[in-house]
Amino acid sequence: MNKIKFKNLTEGDIIEIDSNLWEVLDLSHSHLGRGGANLRIKLKNIINNTTLFRNFNPDDEAVLIEITKKPIKFIYSKNNLYYFLDNENVKHQLSVEILGSKVNFIKKDLDIQGLFKDSKLINIVLPIKVKYLVTEAPPGIKGDSQKNNNKLVSIETGYKLSVPLFIEKGDYIIINTETGEYVERFK
């Protein structure tokens, strides 16, 4: 077990708090009046992607966790489980509950990073911007300036999102996988 003082943490470190794994996103030191110094840390849960802010005493210790990132490939999904293959041809699985909204953007031949703790896959990291095929798109209605000039389309994974009226079935679009929003049409 590798211990580290909170004041020595850096962004990107993975620590264990209350049996959960957290990535350090941001650190800020504060000193209020005659009280002691505080360290305000923004943390992201590695498993369920929730974020929170917590205050810590800079001299308290945290358990530093060794996480390995390795490229993996999506193989298939079945019964709310998603199966991945690493470079050593070892099959790993993750549940829909762990993956959360990432399931909307997982497709074959996508470069995915697996997060491993003690050679066990605990979550994945998707590229931020990914190209998807539009599989369903209603025709755009021109001249309707009273409404938002967007329409709802489906991409190859089944995910539905709002895009500009000029997007048609068969187009490729870039989507931000963190926000689930349209970025641009792929040319």
What letter represents residue 85's amino acid? L
pLDDT at 144: 53
Confidence at residue 75, expressed as pLDDT on a 0 to 100 scale: 94
Cα-atom radius of gyration of the chain, to the nearest Å? 21
Q: Which CATH class is domain 68-125?
A: mainly beta
What's the pLDDT at 43? 94
Express each pLDDT in 19-29 by its tens digit. Answer: 889 999 999 98
- Reported residue count of the chain is 187
Q: Do domains 68-125 and 129-185 have the same CATH topology?
A: yes
Entry pTM = 0.79
Q: Does position 71 have pLDDT exceeding 70, yes or no?
A: yes
May I ask the CATH class of domain 2-64? mainly beta
Q: Convert the pLDDT of each residue in 74-104 to its tens digit.
A: 999 999 999 999 999 999 999 998 898 999 9
Straight-line distance from the first to the last Cα atom of the chain, in angstroms, rounded to the nearest whole number: 50
| DSSP per-residue string spanning the chain | -EEEEGGG--TT-EEEETTEEEEEEEEEEEE-TTS-EEEEEEEEETTT--EEEEEE-TTSEEEE---EEEEEEEEEEETTEEEEEETT--EEEEEHHHHGGGGGG--TT--EEEEEETTEEEEEE--SEEEEEEEE-PPP-TT--SS-SEEEEEETTS-EEEEETT--TT-EEEEETTTTEEEEE--
CATH 2.30.30.240 fits 129-185, yes or no: no
Q: Taking the domains of the chain in order of start, what are their residue ranges?
A: 2-64, 68-125, 129-185
Largest separation between any pair of C-alpha atoms in the chain = 65
* pLDDT at residue 147, rounded to an integer: 61
In terms of DSSP bridges, do strands 120-125 and 129-136 run parallel, antiparallel, or are they unpaired? unpaired
Question: 38-63: per-residue pLDDT in tens?
Answer: 899 999 988 877 899 999 989 999 99
Instruction: Please give the mean pLDDT across all residues of the chain.
Output: 90
